[in-house]
A and B are shown apart, each in its own frame.
Chain A
Amino acid sequence: MAIVVKRPKLSFWEKLYLPGIIKGLGITLRHFFLSLTGKTKVSMQYPEEKWDSHLPEYYRGAPALVTDEQGRERCVACQLCEFICPPRAITIHPEEIPSEDKWAKVEKRPQEFEIDMIRCIYCGLCEEVCPEQAIFLRKEYAFTGLKREDMVHNKKRLYEIGGVREGLVNKWNELK
């Protein structure tokens, strides 16, 4: 069944159309002068002004690796993140931890850990899947490079971005 929508009845002034136009021109003129004199300020001059200090804690920027409070790299090279990553941005080369190392009982660590930031879609699945809380999405987001290789973050760069995270994973600590 067709629904008949009632059209509003226009008064004479509204039908004349011109008063409406003049009113509209007045509104735009007010906006023009307000922003000309700097009374409305909504735009951010991007490279100089950034939103960075307002980013929330849960902001999903670039994924990065973290070390714990004892300087141990948390990643155990289980490669779960490599498997879950939808665009396959992560490449891990695991290695065995030599037996004389202080953390020999961890057994495995990444020899090289690469995230291709051209591929990464900032989905956060790597952070979610990691059993060791070793990978986090941090607040950096503006990466540029002149070559494709520049956009691949290696292990060193990932730890630089990631920094130290404390707590949460205690299973590798010495027993009291």
Chain B
Amino acid sequence: MDITFILISVAKIIGLVFLTILPMVAYSVWAERRVSALIQDRVGPNRVGIPFTKIRLAGLGQPIADGIKFLLKEDFTPSHVRKGYYWLAPALTMVPALLTCAVLPFGSELFGIKMVIADLSVGPLFIFAIASLSVYGIVLAGWASNSKYPFLGGVRSSSQMISYEISLGLSIVPILMIFGQLNLSDIVMEQARNGWALLPLWGDRLSLKGFLLFIPIFISFVIFTTSMFAETNRLPFDLPECETELVAGYHTEYSSMKFALFFLGEYAAMIIGSGLAVTLFLGGWSLPFGWLVPEDGASVPFWMGALHILSFLGKVVAFILFFIWVRWSLPRFRYDQLMRLGWVFFFEIALFNILLTAGILLFVK
């Protein structure tokens, strides 16, 4: 463990988490409000710009104003809650969401340094292991609040998250079978050379086998994305909060920055989820059609590395916009429908999908 390694890791963590993901969280809230407004023929927050001037910047100052508001609000703890767990819960939702970004490769190389915080060889497993911890935050919030609505929200979310984790995990098994490894950086590199999982139009995958494999990959993608919605508690699967029935679900009793932490945790989970989907299915940081793929061992010039990071962020932003678009198009599921969808359809389809992939890999040369 030499000191340069630690310094570089710290720089990467600060660069990715504090300078990229957290601002993205703030601005995805803004995007959510603007896009939802436009979908519903409204205007949305368009006023806050530079303070004390008349410059409005289409409301880009709104997240900062919101942040200040959250910090300045009274932090109210009801007398009937279990204080310790009540305080722990928001942190437990936020931290796992941010931890998972450690294994996401967000770029190729910059100054000869790999653009991933921890180049683990068990990438997706690490993400699932950590992401499933965030259910504890919600369950604890529901139980510690000691009131009925949060309790119901907590119960719902634990069963929902546990059910959908199964189809989430199973849905990426075909991808792992096809690429034959669990290291996300190598998976992205493979996709950069030989065609994205969802766009097999160049390299090795421009073949009969590639096209046949497209079918299970597409099924995987649909299951993965849908389960991702359920995992991050987004509409149409936001039953844990479900405003119409449960007031605000598990965070009903929370106020000020603790509430904001739940909010940030949800959006952070959404960003990381989009990052994982982009990495597994849409070629991560690579550009389409095998442009500008770094050679083995050759150093990557600065502009190319920067371009790769931009390409990753661009894809993630597009995916987040998709999340928002779906949220404002679909109504919420009923609870039994949600469970049926998870256990009766997705679970079986994902299992069958693994068989299908295995068959194609085995018999088609």
Contacts and interface: CB of A to CB of B under 8 A. Distances in A.
Interface of A: 21, 24-25, 27-29, 31-32, 34-36, 40, 42-43, 45
A42 to B, nearest CB: 5
Contacts of B41: 31, 34-35, 40, 42-43
A31 B42 CA distance: 10
B325 A43 contact: no
A36 B43 contact: no
Interface of B: 35, 38-43, 325-326, 328-330
Contact of B329 (A27, A36, A40, A45): A27
A45 B38 contact: no
Contacts of A32: 35, 38-39, 325
A43 B329 contact: no
Contacts of B329: 21, 24-25, 27-28
Contacts of B43: 43, 45
Contacts of A31: 38-41
Nearest to B326: A25
Contact of A29 (B42, B325, B330): B325
A34 B43 CA distance: 12
Given A28-B329, A34-B41, A40-B41, 18 more contacts: A21-B329, A24-B330, A25-B326, A27-B329, A28-B325, A29-B325, A31-B38, A31-B39, A31-B40, A32-B38, A32-B325, A35-B39, A35-B42, A36-B38, A42-B42, A43-B41, A43-B42, A43-B43
A35 B325 contact: no
Contacts of A35: 38-39, 41-42
A42 B38 CA distance: 11
- Nearest 7 CB-CB pairs, A to B? A28-B329, A43-B43, A35-B38, A28-B39, A24-B329, A40-B41, A32-B38
A43 to B, nearest CB: 4
A21 B330 contact: yes
A132 to B, nearest CB: 46
B20 to A, nearest CB: 26
A51 to B, nearest CB: 16
A34 B42 CA distance: 11
Contacts of A25: 325-326, 329
B43 to A, nearest CB: 4
Nearest to A21: B330
A163 B292 CA distance: 76
Contacts of B38: 31-32, 35-36
A21 B225 CA distance: 14
13 contacts: A21-B329, A24-B329, A24-B330, A28-B39, A28-B325, A28-B328, A29-B325, A31-B39, A31-B40, A35-B41, A35-B42, A43-B41, A43-B43
Contacts of B40: 31
A147 B41 CA distance: 37
Contacts of A36: 38
Contacts of A43: 41-43
